[in-house]
Structure 1
């Protein structure tokens, strides 16, 4: 068997041998155990807004100039040499944003609210600019000068408010040097930043360039070979092989030398330069000359989009430690391969699932991962205003571990999809959670692509754990708390051996919580195990639970009996 050679996060031991299962080949039992998710992922198509290319400026019915409109007109002529604001593009983006936001936000807001919030962002670019709405009119001012006054459209008129916002932006652009310095991208960013300041902390607008980078990270990015390169004094070296990429099945491994790419010598080149040579269109061929001091061989690969590796593992004394760093497009598939390999050990004592520092990712991947360790049941409930955001995420598949003990490590940085997985396994008494109270991000975002290539991340649902308690703010309360010091942890483990769970009251208080939950109550529950960064004590406690089945069984009893949950209207 060939060891997995991908880089391992700091603090992790080298990856465990991966076995014969490879991406692109049948995964035998691993493939058969990938869970059937009963709710299909919602894909949000890009939303477009109509803009008349013949119109130099959107029009608002009944528009009336401000008393000093002639002065503003003169200023606009004086600044004619300045680049013009692309009103068609602004109209398209803001119109698409309103169409996307209006039915999806957790709380209902009108086009009027969205636009007035966003227009206040002009003042963040140029503090002398101000927008005020009063008596059915919207006024744009620059210091003491009134630049433009427009009649306010009906509150829900998305087209009218889009046109009004663009008219005000264009008037501000003509008179404000800071606006022009910020450019169209900066103007849009300011508009959306201020709009989302009035909502939750996770909704946001991402401009076209970083949005492209984000999409690459989520989907695997530009097509390549899945190789990480380094160098020594003589040549370019392969330092890592992504098991999700095309280089893995053909037998490339760490330590081999890369002498040429498509006939182009790598001699005297940097790893960064050669890495660029490996990139190309999905499905295109790339020819590599690889080998060592004695032999060389030519390999032809087809480039592919390669999602980042997120799962790393090692085994010690028939206990498998699996670290999940994030939930990307292939996380559940990677997990299935490791679980399949772990289940081949007839003496398997247990699994440690390390989610410390995992900030989350794709919700569906967390649900699918939970199904690999659950026979059936509800993994999570999402509830929002948009009917498409309301799901009971039920799974059925089959526990690949055969019921082996599972301990989940969490800390104060564990968030989002990682919290969903921890809550799902804990609520079904399928795992014991060890560590500190997690971050408490229980809001789900949906993504809308804008006409300019940017993206809106919009919170549209809340997450409830299988037993009905909210993750947002509350987080996951561990059965074994490690953030209160070594002496306290030792006492908890001793009490567990006697059948007593010191954290029982705190865990059950968290499970009894229901949305909406006052902040004071959230803080009162969380103080039982303060959020902290994980330490070696977490893994020590996990090993103690696996080595002492009585402790493990006692810790499971801290979770109340599963109860049927029916979402209630807010």
Structure 2
């Protein structure tokens, strides 16, 4: 098999060779793939090699002449990331550290202390300790300020840096210096333990079950089952219906979106994905069993509901299982595949579009709720426009509608992003109030008419 730097059309300069010695592991597969396509014209292959030669020249010039010294690794990672991010807003390169952080988020569990924190006055402020965690058992309280971590001042750290220091191997210890109210600071030594990210929460609103999903990680389907069991038990057999809150949920794992939609569907398609190659298309179908036992269901969505959230909302809407209430969703209808790169982190590449059961592609369009209810609050009057998928630079175009699918209009003017994504809006939650009233009305109508709740 020929070596790249010996191919026709490349200059054998020492400078080019030095650059390609570093670039080679990343470019060799591209060149071999180009050569393996017998039908590809020789001229196209030569053009590819010329472009690789150009890259080598630019790499070596930056390496030798840039005002500050840079590492080869830094330059190569930046080049790879530039190539991927130019494709669409959701593709990119993850170095080993970022890849590790991403796995923590999707696995839903990590070694840590069990506290939700924020930053205040340069110090880490405890928002809340998580039940049955090292921090909770040690008596850490909301409002506590963490001033030192193992004797190192927190002042000057970013929140991300402080959180990274508090996470670590299960069983390892860390000393926190706590300042509480006006009392003298004191030290607390904690042993790290497995902390599960709680993505599902629930509560009863009268006899209406409220189920909030903040993200889709590996623990989400288990959380939905557990929280639904709690709601049924708390309602003592008098549950009127369920509100599924997907507002400001940025998405997550496709498998978890399918599992959550399946939990409330008896049968039928949940979602399908279509890739560049026809053979790579997939369909996901629901299995018998409805956690809500056919009770009325309302799904809350807004411009912060994206990706996996839209899969769930679209499936329940298309099957007539739930009424969607709120504002139009974000419109991210693409699927990203994480491809580990041995010893070099991973690449995140957009590999498919997904389609709701009726054949809708909501890429750059979003899902329209059945009942539009704005979240009434003072900021709404003066706010600008919310950002949606269609506003992102390089966003994929909407896939043409499937045959028989109604043609959607152009995306409406997006509005300003919610700065407190995932946090309830201050004051009364008018969307939730409307949803509760709707569920109660549907339940009352079903009971009086004797018709199925769906």
| TM-score normalized by the length of structure 2 | 0.68
Does the CA-based 8 Å contact 2:95-2:346 persist in structure 1? yes
Match of 2:274 in 1: 383
Mapped partners of 1:309, 1:96: distance in 2: 41
The corresponding residue for 2:401 is 514
Over residues 421-464 of structure 1, what are the superposed CA-to-partner deviations in whole Å (9 max), with x where a residue is unaligned? 10111222221101122122111111112245242222222211
Q: Deviations over 1:348-376 (max 9, x none)?
A: 22222221222211111111111222233
Counterpart selection for 1:303 from 163, 175, 193: 193
State whether residues 91 and 348 of structure 2, in contact with CA within 8 Å, keep that contact through their aligned partners in structure 1: yes
Deviation at 1:327, TM superposition (A): 1.3
Aligned length: 398
Shift of 1:409: 1.0
Please say if residues 317 and 323 of structure 2, whose CA atoms lie closer than 8 Å, have aligned partners that are also in contact.
yes
Q: Following TM superposition, by how much is the alpha carbon of 1:515 offset from its aligned partner in structure 2, in angstroms?
A: 3.2
Map 1:39-50 → 2, pairs under 5 A: none
Distance 2:136 2:341 in 1: 38
Question: Structure 1 residues 111 and 356 mapped into 2: Cα distance closer, same or farther (>3 Å)?
Answer: farther
Are 2:219 and 1:330 equivalent residues in the alignment? yes
Map 1:285-296; keep pairs closer than 5 Å. none
Looking at structure 2, the residues matched to 196 and 379 of structure 1 have their Cα atoms a distance apart, in angstroms, of: 30
Q: Does 1:92 align with 2:38?
A: no
Is the Cα–Cα contact under 8 Å of residues 10 and 53 in structure 2 kept in the other structure? no
Q: 1:178 to 1:359 in 2, by over 3 A?
A: same
Q: CA deviation at 1:209?
A: 4.2
Whole-Å separation in 1 of the counterparts to 2:114 and 2:439: 36
Alignment of 1:75-154 (within 5 A): 76=15, 85=19, 87-95=20-28, 136=43, 151-152=46-47
For the pair shown, the structure with the greater C-alpha radius of gyration is 1
- Seen in structure 2, the aligned counterparts of structure 1 residues 440 and 276 have a Cα distance that, compared at 3 Å, is closer
Q: Are the structure 2 counterparts of residues 340 and 287 from structure 1 closer, same or farther at C-alpha, using a change threshold of 3 Å?
A: farther
Instruction: Give the corresponding residue for 1:142.
Output: none
SS at match of 1:426: helix
CA positional deviation for 1:378: 1.9
Structure 1 residue 427 and structure 2 residue 313: aligned?
A: no
Alpha-carbon offset, residue 485 of structure 1: 9.0
Structure 1 residue 343: Cα displacement: 1.3
- The answer to whether structure 1 residue 174 and structure 2 residue 60 are counterparts is yes
Structure 1: gaps of 5 or more residues: 1-49, 103-109, 114-133, 139-150, 154-160, 487-512, 554-560, 562-570
For residue 223 of structure 1, what is the aligned residue in structure 2? 111
Describe the shift of the 1:443–1:516 C-alpha distance in structure 2 as closer, same or farther (beyond 3 A).
farther
Give the drift of 1:342: 0.7
What are the ranges of 5 or more consecutive residues in structure 2 without an aligned counterpart?
A: 378-399, 419-424, 447-453
Between the aligned partners of 1:97 and 1:552, the Cα distance in structure 2 is 63
Aligned to 1:411: 302
The normalised TM-score by structure 1 is 0.55
RMSD over aligned Cα atoms? 5.1
CA distance in 1, matches of 2:293, 2:308: 24
| Partner residue in 1 for 2:168 | 280
2:370 to 469, 474, 479: 479
Distance 1:437 1:329 in 2: 27
| Larger relative contact order (CA 8 Å, sep ≥ 6) | 1
Kept after mapping to 2: 8 A contact 1:287/1:301: yes
